[in-house]
């Protein structure tokens, strides 16, 4: 069933000025049109920002518990629609239905979490000196927040930006990715049904070159939050900060898992395989490098190849082990890196082929790829692929493993698989990444703790999620009272 969505501006659903629309198709079956959305420009963007400005006083002036009640009701509405939302997510993004269900639940939990945070969001009271009657801090919303979100987690990432921005009293304009905007639009529907004031939340569908560019430079936008590729994120951050805005950009990753001889090798292969091939490798935290001690290298390689070959590739609605790439362009990018890796001398142990025939002809399918004989300076070991492609790199000891893990332009997520507590502790201390895990896959995040990276993975200004999300969308006012 095809759904039709318009922009949501000032409490009204409205099309683009040009009337142009775009079909969103199922990457597992491109004849399946999931939704039709408007292709908007700067005109609609300006209208959305103006609506957000007009709603600022009403939304910021609403008591925190009342804002929290609207966020909680939004979570309840999303909960009642969980099965439908998960199916829509799978149809437009491609990930297996089980993964989609988990992502939808995460969005629900995020709204519940920030609903409670809105209740006690405030400041601190300090003991004054002299004859002052009081000394305190007061937290205030930044104003109008522009949110630019990606397609790979099309309900979770919008939720973890929208909820904290609204919780502290900002009004919002969000631009979802055009490859998968439908479940993001359903968040807006839920907020509308929950009774959010007109203009407090606004949705504009359109290309980043117009809508995103306008949001990052608009005089009435106060804060910009972006998730996407490093090249685009760096541009967004520079534009936003050059125009005097607070900004954050969470970007790419080239995430390692270091496997030591003390590890259970089969367990390590399961951890790496799940991190590398879950979501078709289309995650900024996906495991793209397995850095393995030479004593267990061959055993690990056999085990992770078995893992890759055991995955059933197919339509996510049928709960396949791995779904398709989100688009033909993304598939082409992975296939290009398969060729680059072989040209550089890496050995393709399994996978890396575009799948054709039968149901595969209708979608963007690839078999999960595992490479051996990978040198740390090869492009396959240095550049983000954003697909189910794993480079397995041998090292002679723990120190070399840590050095190879860190010798990269990115620093988002990293893990170590070991049974030695001293290696766990040292890896935690020495890892140059914003997220460090022990005996876990590099993917998967808790919503109540900060998330963000180092190096080119992040602008490293403010973190997302947890209390850090609230801090980004607010500023501190210090109040002196004299008697």
Cα separation, 253 vs 232, whole angstroms: 14
* CA nearest to 149, candidates 53, 23, 35, 233: 233
Beta carbons within 8 Å of 307's beta carbon, 6+ residues apart: 269, 270, 272, 273, 277
Token readout for 345 is 């001398």
Which member of 44, 73, 93, 250 is catalytic? 250
What is the H or E stretch that residue 128 is in? none
Q: Are 223 and 170 in contact (CB under 8 A)?
A: yes
SS3 435: strand
Overall residue count recorded for the chain in this entry: 483
SS3 163: helix
Q: Measured in whole angstroms, how far is the alpha carbon of residue 29 from the centre of its chain?
A: 24
Q: Is residue 101 annotated as a catalytic residue, yes or no?
A: no
Cα separation, 32 vs 2, whole angstroms: 8
How many CB atoms lie under 10 A from the CB of residue 359? Answer: 15
Token readout for 6 is 């318009």
Cα separation, 276 vs 387, whole angstroms: 8
Q: Label each residue of 349-390 as H, E or C.
A: EECCCECCCHHHHHCCCECCEEEECCCCCCHHHHCCCCCCEE
Sheet holding 125-126, edge to edge: 125-126, 132-141, 474-482
Strand 3-4, strand 171-175: pairing: unpaired
Q: Are 105 and 153 in contact (CB under 8 A)?
A: no
Q: Measured in whole angstroms, how far is the alpha carbon of residue 383 from the centre of its chain?
A: 18
Sign of CA dihedral 455, 458, 463, 466: negative
Cα separation, 62 vs 56, whole angstroms: 10
Burial label, 238 (beta-carbon count in 10 A; 0-12, 13-18, 19+): middle
Cα separation, 28 vs 91, whole angstroms: 8
Q: How many CA atoms lie within 13 A of 179 on its CB side?
A: 17
CA Rg, the chain, in Å? 23
Q: Which residues carry out catalysis? A: 250
């Amino acid at each position: 069933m095809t759904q039709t969505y318009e922009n949501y501006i000032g409490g009204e659903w409205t099309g683009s000025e040009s009337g142009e629309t775009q079909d969103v198709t199922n990457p597992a079956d491109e004849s399946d049109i999931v939704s039709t959305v408007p292709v908007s420009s700067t005109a609609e963007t300006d209208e959305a920002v103006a609506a957000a400005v007009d709603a600022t006083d009403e939304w910021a002036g609403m008591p925190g518990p009342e804002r929290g009640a609207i966020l909680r009701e939004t979570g309840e509405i999303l909960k009642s629609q969980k099965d439908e939302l998960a199916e829509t997510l799978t149809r437009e993004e491609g990930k297996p239905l089980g993964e989609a269900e988990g992502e939808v639940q995460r969005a629900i939990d995020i709204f519940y979490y920030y609903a409670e945070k809105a209740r006690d969001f405030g400041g601190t009271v300090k003991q004054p000196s002299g004859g002052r009657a009081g000394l305190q801090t007061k937290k205030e919303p930044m104003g109008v927040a522009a949110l630019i979100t990606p397609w790979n987690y099309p309900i979770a990432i919008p939720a973890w930006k929208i909820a904290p921005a609204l919780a502290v009293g900002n009004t919002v304009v969000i631009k979802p990715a055009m490859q998968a905007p439908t479940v993001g639009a359903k968040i807006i529907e839920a907020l509308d049904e929950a009774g959010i004031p007109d203009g407090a939340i606004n949705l504009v569908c359109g290309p980043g070159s117009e809508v995103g560019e306008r949001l990052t430079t608009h005089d009435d936008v106060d804060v910009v939050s972006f998730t996407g590729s490093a090249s685009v994120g760096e541009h967004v951050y520079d534009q936003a900060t050059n125009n005097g805005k607070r900004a954050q950009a969470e970007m790419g990753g080239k995430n390692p898992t270091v496997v030591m001889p003390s590890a259970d090798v089969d367990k390590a292969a399961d951890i790496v395989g799940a991190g590398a091939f879950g979501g078709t490798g289309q995650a900024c935290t996906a495991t793209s490098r397995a850095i393995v001690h030479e004593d267990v290298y061959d055993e690990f390689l056999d085990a992770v190849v078995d893992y890759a070959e055991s995955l059933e590739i197919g339509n996510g609605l049928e709960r396949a082990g791995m779904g398709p790439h989100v688009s033909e362009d993304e598939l082409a990018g992975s296939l290009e890196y398969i060729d680059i890796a072989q040209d550089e001398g890496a050995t393709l142990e399994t996978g890396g082929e575009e799948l054709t025939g039968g149901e595969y002809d209708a979608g963007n399918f690839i078999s999960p790829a595992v490479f051996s004989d990978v040198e740390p300076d090869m492009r396959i070991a240095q550049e983000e692929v954003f697909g189910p492609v794993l480079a397995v790199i041998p090292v002679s000891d723990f120190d070399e493993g840590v050095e190879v893990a860190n010798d990269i332009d990115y620093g988002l997520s990293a893990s170590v698989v070991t049974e030695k507590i001293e290696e766990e502790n040292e890896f935690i201390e020495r890892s140059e990444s914003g997220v460090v895990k022990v005996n876990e896959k590099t993917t998967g995040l808790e919503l109540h703790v900060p998330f963000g990276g180092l190096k080119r993975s992040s602008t490293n200004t403010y973190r997302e999620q947890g209390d850090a999300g609230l801090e980004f969308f607010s500023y501190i006012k210090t109040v002196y009272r004299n008697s």
